[in-house]
Homo-oligomer: A and B are copies of this chain.
Amino acid sequence: MKLSNYLFFTTKETPAEAELISHQLMLRAGLIKPAASGLYSFLPVGYRVLDKIASLVKEEMDNAGAQQLLLPFIQPAELWKRSGRWDEYGKELLRFKDRKGSWFILSPTHEEIITDLVAEVLTSYKKLPVVAYQIQIKFRDELRSRGGVIRSREFLMKDAYSFCQGEDQMKEIYQGMKQAYEKIFSRCGLEYKLVEAESGPIGGDISHEFIALAPLGEDKIVECQSCEYAFKLEKAVWQENEESSSENRCPVCQASLQVKRGLEVGHLFQLGYKYSSSLGAFFLDQTGKKLPLLMGCYGIGISRLPAAIIEQNYDEEGIIWPEKVAPFAVVVIPTSERTFNFSEKLYRKLKDASIDVLWDDRDISAGAKFKDSDLIGIPLKIIVGKTFLKEGNVEIKKRKSGELIKVKKEELIKKVEELV
């Protein structure tokens, strides 16, 4: 991609409305642009990150045997009345009438519609278990959206739903999803904790969250300093200002606990029979008995992930993308007019070698190009400058370590292929 006519901009100013570093950097690097409170456009650089994350999620979901589909974002109210959530759900559920006066909602999640869908298909135990997922937008009418894409009103989510016969099948599927999530977040370059959530250490329904560690994250988690047990902080469990309280000790091994902050990036939930019972999703078992499907759901906040990754990967110059999710693997930077033509040749060669390459062909100073490249966080800079004119060598500079490698121009493609 040529940067000169790329829909791209950067700004030096730290936007006043942004508290979190990820929000500041996403705005400054031109990854996103607000359209209204809690509504964001992803510009091409930001979209490339989003798309890479989505592809990576898709790959691991497919590997785990899940089936992709697409459910409508607009749902009829009738399904929500049948599940009871029409009344239960608060004002975050946006309800509206169509031109004929029928009520609809903007989906915050999709349990109702998928349960209704499978009810006619998964009618026999022979079909089970099934995990279906989609990557689709969601809407929650948050009163205060904050942190940029961390808590936006419209957002992109991967939501999966499992349908099982009995607890054993359910546990196996749940375990498979957990493992898929571990692969996904590791590949995203995230440091995360898997914690028990919502229902607390001893609860009814089982639920886990994947929390990306971030000092200013909105979620508080508690981790035992001795055993590996971790859970999401609930007011009921944690006694503020009473660190020595017995309630503030690990429920598993009684060791002392540590509070950390983070951002929820994934959620696993055993739903039980709530939706299958209310929406009539039954199957016949081996004996011909009619039973409700045992359900689970599994979410990943796709559009929130770029922010979570940035919270863990930045320095004073800007973002430092992990390789797998970087918008481009490499940027080719000519430092003057004298190296411009050669840099173009290099760019085309790299492109032909299927390297994900950006060419900074803009008519601005080399310093400004370096600054932009550091801000948007491209892992490798290929600098075609003085060294090239003097010795015929180009320089590769690594964004993360700052390491500078001199390479003969003939060997560049090979070297880049090694590094990306």
Contact = CB atoms under 8 A, between A and B. Distances in A.
In the complex, the 10 A-B pairs of residues with the closest C-beta atoms, listed nearest first? A96-B96, A36-B76, A42-B70, A44-B67, A39-B72, A47-B69, A91-B99, A9-B121, A99-B141, A41-B71
Contact of A39 (B68, B74, B99): B74
Contacts of A28: none
Contact of A128 (B5, B68, B98, B128): B5
A43 interface: yes
Given A35-B113, A35-B116, A7 B67 contact: yes
Interface of A: 1, 4-9, 30, 33, 35-36, 39-44, 46-48, 50-51, 67-76, 78-79, 91, 94, 96, 98-100, 102, 104, 106, 113-114, 116-118, 120-122, 126-130, 132, 137, 139, 141, 143, 153-154, 156, 363
A68 B43 contact: no
A76 B76 CA distance: 23
Contacts of A126: 4-5, 363
Nearest to A156: B70
Contacts of A117: 33, 35, 41, 43
Given A70-B41, A113-B41, A5 B143 contact: no
A316 B42 CA distance: 45
A44 B7 contact: no
Given A44-B67, A121-B8, A35 B72 contact: yes
B40 A72 contact: yes
A132 B42 CA distance: 12
B69 A42 contact: yes
Given A113-B35, A130-B5, A137-B137, A154 B73 contact: yes
Contacts of A153: 74, 98
A83 B139 CA distance: 25
A363 B127 CA distance: 11
A98 B43 CA distance: 25
A62 to B, nearest CB: 9
Contacts of A69: 7, 41-44, 46-47
Contact of A6 (B67, B116, B363): B67
